[in-house]
Structure 1
Amino acid sequence: MLTIFGFHTDDNLYRKHAQILQRSAEKFDINVHFSEFSKDDWQKIIAFKPVFIAQMRRKLEGPILFVDADAIILKDIRPFFESIQEDIAVHYINGNRLISSTILINDTPNARLLINEWERRQLEQPERWDQVVLQELIDEWVEEKKVTLNKLPPNYTFIFDTSRRTYGDSVEPIIEQLQASRDKRWIDKYRSRNRFHQWLMRIPYLLKSTRKIVSRHNVVNNRAEKLGIDVRISIDDLI
């Protein structure tokens, strides 16, 4: 049975996003295993994502699906993912660049070896982007026939705005990435400003940076509402 797993930090923004993702999964009776970490712990742990994923692969049984916490599941994904026989499944943008926001790891010896090796390599070179290290590893092992790969279609790593420009209107989002990291940039800007400018930034649609954030929040809240999820994201979650 498929289990979705992931992690999030303990701030209001990511906690609410994780709640939306969890409730969207539960709408389709999908097992969910999420872990919450403090921001300080998250920043201190070297190679956090590969280490966490490797630990979960050792801990959980059956096929497991890592999904970034700021995503939402819009349809029942179980039939699709439970039919995948390959060791690992991940999306490559235009067939070239791996995106690690959605990763299926089957419960096979080769998949376990692959994830353990990703953890080991990342710990050796923690300054490198983890998804680049993962792509190099997967491409190498696929060529050497050490592991089997299923390249996921873009429906399962669909970024709510930019994927439409990349893939056109023919792609229907199924797991949609809602990009909470964009709010982080707004938060950093907000905290660096004086009180008057902070007041201006809190007024919806007054400043371009705030309009973009409010527009993203509207997308998130619209997706949640359509699934009957009563969690809402707002500017108040950021300050």
Structure 2
Amino acid sequence: MLTIFGFHTDDPLYTKHAQILRASAENFDINIYLESFSKDDWQKIIAFKPAFIAKIRREIQGPILYIDADAIVLEDIRPYFNAITEDIAVHYIDEKRLISSTLFINETPNAHLLMAEWEKRMLSQPERWDQVVLQELVDEWVAEGRITLKKLPPNYTFIFDTSRKLYGDSVEPSIEQLQASRDMRWIQKYQRRNRLHQWLMRIPYLLRSTRKIVHRHNVVNVRTEQLGINIRLTLEDLI
């Protein structure tokens, strides 16, 4: 049986996104396991994401599906992933760059070895982006015939704006990535500014950086409304 899981930090923004993800999954009677960590723990643990996923792969039987906590599930995704027989399934955006925000790992010996090796490589080079390291590893092992790979279509790793620009209206998302990290960058910028600039940043359509965040919130809020989820994002959540 497929296990769907993820993790999030315990700050208000990611906690709210995790609530959205859980509610969206439950809307289709999908159980999802989400673990919360303090930001301090998350920052201290080297190679956090690979280590967490490798741990889940070791502890849980059956195929597993990792989803970033700032995503939303828009349909019953279980039939599609339950039918996958390859060791691993992941999307390559524009057939070039691996996106690890949705990652299927099957219950196979080679998939176990792959996750263990991802964790090992990240521990030895923690300054690198885990997604890049995973792509290098997957591409290497596929070329050597050590694993089988299914490339997910874009609807299972659909970035709300980037994928729309790339694929147009030909693709409708099944799992949509909502990119909460952009809010975190806005928060960091806000905290560095003086009071006058902070006041300007709180005006929704005055500054380009704030307009982008408001647009992201609007996308999230439209999606939650479509699913009947009573959770909304606002600028006030970030201040």
TM-score under structure 2 length normalisation: 0.97
Query: Which residue in the other structure is 2:118 paired with?
Result: 118
Supply the AA of the counterpart residue of 1:215: H
Counterpart contact for 1:105–1:111, Cα < 8 Å:
yes
- Residues 139-178 of structure 1 aligned to structure 2 (within 5 Å): 139-178=139-178
Deviation digits for residues 195-226 of structure 1 (CA, Å, limit 9, x no counterpart): 22212222222222212111110110110111
- Residues 101-116 of structure 1 aligned to structure 2 (within 5 Å): 101-116=101-116
Query: Which residue in the other structure is 1:80 paired with?
Result: 80
CA distance in 2, matches of 1:222, 1:51: 34
Supply the AA of the counterpart residue of 1:141: W
Query: Which residue in the other structure is 2:195 paired with?
Result: 195
CA distance in 2, matches of 1:69, 1:20: 9
Tell me, what secondary structure is at the counterpart of 2:169?
coil
Supply the AA of the counterpart residue of 2:104: L
CA distance in 2, matches of 1:88, 1:168: 27
Supply the AA of the counterpart residue of 1:99: I
Deviation digits for residues 148-198 of structure 1 (CA, Å, limit 9, x no counterpart): 110000111111111111112111111101111111111111101112221
Supply the AA of the counterpart residue of 1:162: T
Supply the AA of the counterpart residue of 1:39: K
Deviation digits for residues 22-72 of structure 1 (CA, Å, limit 9, x no counterpart): 111111122211111111111111011100100111122211111111110
CA distance in 1, matches of 2:168, 2:200: 36
CA distance in 2, matches of 1:136, 1:193: 39
Deviation digits for residues 91-143 of structure 1 (CA, Å, limit 9, x no counterpart): 11222211111100111111111101111111111111111111111111112
Counterpart contact for 1:10–1:37, Cα < 8 Å:
yes
* Aligned-pair CA distance for 1:80: 0.5
Query: Which residue in the other structure is 2:45 paired with?
Result: 45
Identity %: 74
Tell me, what secondary structure is at the counterpart of 2:170?
coil
CA distance in 2, matches of 1:107, 1:17: 28
Query: Which residue in the other structure is 1:57 paired with?
Result: 57
Supply the AA of the counterpart residue of 1:69: A
Residue segments in structure 2 that go unaligned for 5+ positions in a row: none
CA distance in 2, matches of 1:159, 1:184: 17
Cα RMSD over matched residues? Answer: 1.1
Supply the AA of the counterpart residue of 1:234: T
Tell me, what secondary structure is at the counterpart of 1:65?
strand
Counterpart contact for 1:2–1:31, Cα < 8 Å:
no
Tell me, what secondary structure is at the counterpart of 1:66?
strand
Query: Which residue in the other structure is 2:11 paired with?
Result: 11
Supply the AA of the counterpart residue of 2:71: A
Supply the AA of the counterpart residue of 1:223: R
TM-score under structure 1 length normalisation: 0.97
Query: Which residue in the other structure is 1:95 paired with?
Result: 95
Supply the AA of the counterpart residue of 1:28: F
Supply the AA of the counterpart residue of 1:60: I
